[in-house]
Every structure is written in C-alpha cells, then in structure tokens.
Chain A
Amino acid sequence: MGYEGLYRELDMDVERHQELMDLLFDVYKELFLSRKNRPQGMAYFDGLMAEIHGKRIEELMEIKKQGKPLVGTFCIFVPEEIVVGAGGACYGLCGGAQFSIPDAETHLPRNICPLIKSAYGFKLQRTCPYTQISDVIYGETTCEAKKKTWELLGKLHRVYVMHIPHKKGDVEKDLWRREIEGFMRQVEELRGSPITYEELKKGIEVVNAKRRAMRRLYSLRSANDTVPITGLDALLVNQIAFYDDPERYAAKVNELCDELEERINQGISVFPKDAPRLLVAGTPMAPPNWKLHSVAEEAQAAVVAEEACIGVRYFRDDVDTEGCETVGDLLEALLERYMKIDCACFTPNDERVQHILDMCREKRVDGVIYYTLSFCHTYNVESKKVMDALKAEGIPVLRIETDYSMEDVEQIRTRVEAFVESLR
C-alpha cells in the first residue's frame, strides 16, 4: 500500500507484516464493514483503522523528525499528558493478536498472559510499526510477567520501566510521585529541553478533552432504551484512542456523539428495545481482540459499557488543574489522578467493586460478563470478589476466561448465548 519504504526505514519484516494486515482486514471487513445501520461517524474510525499502520505512522514519523518524543506503552498508568505536553506522541503498542504469540513462546513461558506474549512477539517479528518507531517503550510493574518480560524486551529495544505501586498508602504515593517526576525527566531528555508549565498544562488539557469526549460516548451508549451504537463499534472507538492524535480524535468522537444524540432523538437503535444490556468487566481488549463483543452482540445482547483499561478506567477521571501554579503543582495533580485508577494490581482494590456496582445501576444493565485473559492473575483472582458482590445485588454474571486464539469461539458462544437467554 505504498508504505514499504517507511517500513524498511523502521527495520520491519515487510512480508510478515503484510500477512498480518491481510488477516486483520479480513476480520475487520466481516466484523465491522459488513454490518448495517452503523453511524456515519464511524467512517472516520474505519478510515483510521485502514491507515493504522499507514498514514498514522507517517504522522508519527513527522513528529519524530521534529525531535519530539515518541513513547510506546502497554498501560494506562503511563502519564501521557507529559508526552503530549512535550509535543510528542504517546500510544499503545501492538499486543492484541494471536499472530505474534507463537514467536513469543520461543522466548517466554506459555502460561503468561496473551497480551504480554503478543506484545513481545511483535517486537521479535518486527511487525508492529508503533513498536519499531518508538524512541522508548515504557513498561511498568503491574504484574510479575510484565516486569520480567521488560528485561528481555530491553535487549531488543530501548525500554524504561515505571514502578507502579501495589497499595495506596502514603509510602506508595511518595514512590509514585518520584516515578512521575522521573518519567518527566526522561521525556525532557528525549526532547532535549525542559517541559514548561504552559506545555504541561496544555498536555493535560488535551488529554482531559479526549477523556471528556470518551465519557460523552460512554453515556450516550446507554442514555435510554435506544442504543445508538453497537458495543463493538464503541469498543473500536475506545481502542483507537490509544493510537490517534488526541485532539483530532476528541473532535471526531464529539462529531460521532452529535450524530448519536440525533439518533437517540429519532429512536434509531441498533438493537431491539428488549435486547438485554450487558456490562463487560475485566481485562482490556487491545485491537484486534473483538472476540467477546462480536459474540455477545451476535447473540442480540447490547454491550453498553466496558469496565476495563480500554474502557472506563482510562477516561473516568480527569486531571484537576484548578489552583495549579507551578510544574510541581501539575505533577501533584497528575499524581492524584493516577492514584485513583482501580487496577486489580492494587491490594485491596475494593473501590473497583463499588465502581462496578455503580456502573450496573447507572447503565441499567441486565447482566455482567466478567472477562479475563488467561493467566492474568490479578483480574482472574479478583473475579471472585466482583462476582460475589454482583450476586449479592442480584445481578447475573457470567465469567469468561480466554485468550486471543479463535479456537474457543464456539464454546464462548454457547455460554454467552445461554447467558443472554437467561436474561430475557
């Protein structure tokens, strides 16, 4: 598609990358482009998806050539506001496909989560342009498998690691403050100049605006009985948040939301009025992981929210800059915001359970699917607490544990269909 030169410049394996793209677009056509009654505003996101390894990489190359930092991440704990403030780009790296896992398993144990294996495999294969173009990959210590994998990844690419605390006391807060400061210094070093108060504030505002747009979409998905957009399309929009230019993205999400409001006014729903409404809670779904949403919605249930890192955990809280007068104040505001994240890597993590119960009420869901990737111990173990709390409230819940391979789709379908039948 005319990006070969760029791919070679990024030291990519062009042939294998083409194989990946062919697979990806076959799936994309079937799951998205062939569906009817999609909002017109999805055209932008379809276009972005089509160019996700094309034009968007060219844009990142432009940023790189201006000497601005490109930071690739795997976790919503990395404070992207700092990178955006520095004029650079912070984005998610490929890590949602089975395609790279067999390669990863030549180095990594099989019994660690597919997200890590997939991400590491992409580096080994040199098939992810985002990974290849990154000045630095920012890892974190959310789990054992990740933190040890970064040591191996560090042999193949420049990797820094942020130490994410696992409790929320004062000691841990101090640690996280230092980590954020350290992150900022690294970004400044990459750019070769300090980040000013104005720049950082702008970075925060840009990302806040993006989160606001995402929250707007989040609330429109379940405003009333009219479901104006499928969960699958909304998931895609949430996924693209990790790749696109944040300002352009926010504008496009808002345009989509204008259309969705119009649809709601006209009663244009993508599901029948009595379709059961589902909340999906658990581990993130990185593209092209569309497995559960497509199965659930083919069973005629509407997924109206994702309680996940690619979902509400990413956009629930803004950074409050009120009264911030110095860079130090802004960093403190970042600290406060990031410590609110209710990731299962924390112990205890009771606020997550409460958040899920609140979401169920607010979104008037008929049931919850607790989705966990195989070998994601934190979310896996925490499922019991969440499910017990849901059952105590009389909210039906189904637990699905799976990975990126497609071999269990029919088994998952049986369970999801039966769950949906039980909700009717």
Chain B
Amino acid sequence: MSLFLGIDAGSSYIKVVWLSGNGDIAKMELFPTTAGYEDAVSRMLEGVSSSVVTGYCRRRISRLFGIKSISEIKAHALGAYRLCPDARFVIDVGGQDSKVIRLNGDGAFSDFVMNDRCAAGTGRFLEVVSQRLGVSVDRLSELAERCRKPATISSMCVVFAESEIVSLLAQGEPVESIAYAVIDAVATRIASMAKGFGVESKVVFTGGGALCSFLVKRVSEKLGLPIKVPPHPQFAGAIGAALEASLVLSS
C-alpha cells in the first residue's frame, strides 16, 4: 500500500502526516522543533512512497533528504481545501508568522498576505505571554473566556507587551483580564490584516493558533463573519504537503 508523507517543519513544531493511497489520514505526529530534529524526520521517511516538506525548516530538510519542498502558503491552501473544500479564505496563525490566503476553490491559491519578522499576531506572542502569566498556552483561552473585566494592552511588540503585562500584574489585574487583553490584541492584529486583504466569506482558521478557541471567537467577532475550524487545524500544512506528495507521484 502506498503512503504519502507530508512534513510541516515549522518554527515551533514539526507536524507530520501520513496519507494512505485512498487519501485517508493514516497517522499524524507532532514534536517540537529542537536540535536534532533531522534524525526524527529521517526515521519518518522510511517506508513511504513519496514525501514533501513545507515550513520554516523546509530547505534544510529538502536538501538533506532530497525531497520536494513547497511554500507554507501552497501547503496551507491545499490542506485547507482538503479539510474544508468550500472555503475561500484561510487564516493561518503559526509559531512565527500569520497569514491570510485567498483560495481558488480547486486547492490552489491566488493571493496571500503575511505578517512576518515580528511576533505580533503570532503563536509565539501567546507563548511568551503564557509563560509570563505562569500558565500553559492551552489554558490561556479558557482564562480569557472567564474574564469579567477586560484589560487592554496597547503594544503589539512582544517585548513591549511583555513589560505592559508586568505592569498590569503589578497593578493587581486578574490573570483572566490579562489573558483576555493579550488574545484580544492578537485578534485585532489578525482581523485588521484579514480585513485589509478583503476577507469576505467562507473563512477557515488553521495553524496552532486555531487551537485557541477564544482567539478564533474574537477574530470572528471583529470580522463579523463565521469562521470554521477543522479538526486538527495545526496539521493543515502537513496535510497539504502530503497531498502534494501524492500528486508528485501520480504525475
């Protein structure tokens, strides 16, 4: 039986998806991008019919193992198409960048916009803040949901926002209010990028950021649009890469 491997070697995590010959997801794995990740990847390449890599570390893996690489944009477009075929826009919030992609309706994309080189509006921002609040990033969302009196942070630079958070803590603001402020700030950033890009309907939210349900909710409210989150949104890029791997072999 043929197996197609998709690797999304991101800045925070490496996501790997195995697609079986009939297109079903056979297996998924996720591990942090830390030194020596190449060995783990090398083991996963065993026994697969073809593989494609995407994500921040794609060039290194592509060169090391001689496999095809595609951009994250293409991978997320393909992945989102597979997860929600009728989607027209993808909002993807990853570890170190966030992007909005316009889909053609056939798995390809026509345009995209990206926030990069700055952790504002990315998963990294949420991670840094969680650390400062002494909670895991998974809990941030539920804390924010419980907020009764929202605080605000005005700085979107992680470094400055961190010091704003310290001063909020010093003023005795409850953790829930700060969690709300932080997620709301990220949501504002993403929503303004999406609005400027012309997002108007059929939006799907992918990437690790989609796991933060309060973030999705706030973005949806700010855009005034319903947003779908597929199951396993953080694997969308890897699924796209695996689909590309199946195409590589068939062509």
Contact = CB atoms under 8 A, between A and B. Distances in A.
Interface of A: 396, 402, 407-408, 410-411, 413-415, 417-418, 421-422
B114 A415 contact: yes
Nearest to B97: A411
Given A410-B56, A411-B97, A421 B116 contact: no
B71 A411 contact: no
Interface string B50-64: 000000100100000
Nearest to A413: B59
B72 interface: yes
Given A411-B116, A411-B117, A417 B97 contact: no
B97 A418 contact: no
B237 to A, nearest CB: 11
Contacts of B235: none
Given A396-B111, A413-B59, A418 B116 contact: no
A212 B236 CA distance: 52
Given A408-B116, A411-B114, A414-B97, 12 more contacts: A407-B117, A413-B59, A415-B73, A415-B112, A417-B70, A418-B71, A418-B73, A418-B109, A418-B112, A421-B73, A422-B109, A422-B111
Interface string B88-107: 00000000110000000000
B22 interface: no
B124 interface: no
B74 interface: yes
Interface residues of B, number: 17
Nearest to B70: A421
B87 to A, nearest CB: 17
B251 interface: no
A418 B74 contact: yes
A340 to B, nearest CB: 34
B228 to A, nearest CB: 22
Contacts of B108: 422
| Most chain A beta-carbon contacts within 10 A, residue among B110, B112, B116 | B116
B111 A414 contact: no
A407 B96 CA distance: 13
Nearest to B60: A410
Contact of A421 (B74, B114, B117): B74
Q: Which 5 A-B pairs have the closest CB atoms?
A: A418-B73, A418-B71, A411-B116, A417-B71, A408-B117
A418 B110 contact: no
Contacts of B117: 402, 407-408, 411
A421 B71 contact: yes
A312 to B, nearest CB: 26
Contacts of A407: 117
Contacts of A402: 117
A422 B108 CA distance: 8
Nearest to A405: B117
B73 A414 contact: yes
Nearest to A421: B74
Contacts of A408: 116-117
Contacts of B110: 422
Nearest to A401: B117
A358 to B, nearest CB: 24
Contacts of B56: 410, 414
Interface string B106-137: 00111110101100000000000000000000
B70 A414 contact: no
Contacts of A422: 73, 108-112
Contacts of B73: 414-415, 418, 421-422
26 contacts: A396-B111, A402-B117, A408-B116, A408-B117, A411-B96, A411-B114, A411-B116, A411-B117, A414-B71, A414-B73, A414-B114, A415-B71, A415-B73, A415-B112, A415-B114, A415-B116, A417-B71, A418-B71, A418-B74, A418-B109, A421-B70, A421-B71, A421-B74, A422-B73, A422-B108, A422-B111
Nearest to A402: B117
